Amino acid sequence: MSNMWPMMKGFVRDLSRYGSDLRRQDRWIRKHAANRGWSVNPRWMVYANLRLWLSDSEEMYGRRYCPCFEPSGQHDLDRSLICPCTFAQEEIDRVGWCHCTLFGRGDLTAADYERAEAHLMAEYRDVPLRWVDGVLDTRGMPGDELRRLPIPDAVHQVKRALNGKGVPLSVVVATRVEAVHLERLAEMRRLAANVAEVAGGFRVSLAKRRGEARAATA
């Protein structure tokens, strides 16, 4: 329950933020599913979250990347991550659904998707955030076997931390690319971001913007 309340607050905030854009995402998703002979996740909460993450991706990166992974900075790999990613069909053929559970075999039931979601949540929601002296260390997560990208990635971890802890928030990431992504996330959330190189990575400090901080205390 302690994890659910921050998640719900973030969910309601994002629903309000994107509004009608979710209908655009829905039309796009269903068109691609029909073209491929896939089904679409019928479970409302998860399906809404996946559309929100696609909208986040478009705002942050200018492309509709897979909801489960942030772009790597490697051109060929990132092209393959554009949803529906090039790995989706292999995953659907092997286990019945794509990694993020947005798409599945045409014969999947709601119960099948519920089982798929349990596995996804174990990877993203149930992995404890690693705090070291009050700093969120996002490094060292296990890699996905097809994409070789961390699960959960730095952006997903920071979103969880922002929903639960808020700002100020200090984060350590492994690469400059991840630091840039957190700067984009900060811009989207109307936060200030400062990046500094540290041993083994980059430290990103997130805080309220000065003007907004003064307004909140006025």
| pLDDT of the residue at 212 | 64
Q: What is the mean pLDDT of residues 31-52?
A: 95
| Local structure of 138: helix, strand or coil | coil
CB of 73 closer than 8 Å to CB of 179: no
Q: Report whether pLDDT(125) > 80.
A: yes
| pLDDT of the residue at 19 | 78
Q: What is the mean pLDDT of residues 152-159?
A: 96
The model's confidence at residue 214, banded by pLDDT at 50, 70 and 90, is very low
Q: Which domains does the chain have, with CATH numbers?
A: 4-124 (3.90.460.10), 131-217 (3.30.110)
Least confident of 2-11, 52-61, 180-189: 2-11
Q: Which two tokens stand for residue 117?
A: 């979601």
Give phi and psi for 114, each to the nearest 5. Answer: -65, -40
Which residue in 189, 165, 144, 41 sits closest to 101, CA to CA? 41
Model confidence, pTM: 0.89
| pLDDT of the residue at 210 | 85
Per residue in 42-54, pLDDT (tens digit) is 999 999 999 999 9
Q: Which has more confidence, 3 or 1?
A: 3
Q: Report whether pLDDT(140) > 90.
A: yes
Cis preceding-peptide flag for 168 (omega within 30 of 0): yes
User: DSSP letters along 68-118, please?
Assistant: T----S-HHHHHHTBSSPTTHHHHHHHHSB-TTSSEE-TT--HHHHHHHHH
Q: Which has more confidence, 143 or 8?
A: 143
Exposure string over 181-192, b if 16+ CB within 10 A, otherwise e: bbbbbbeebebb
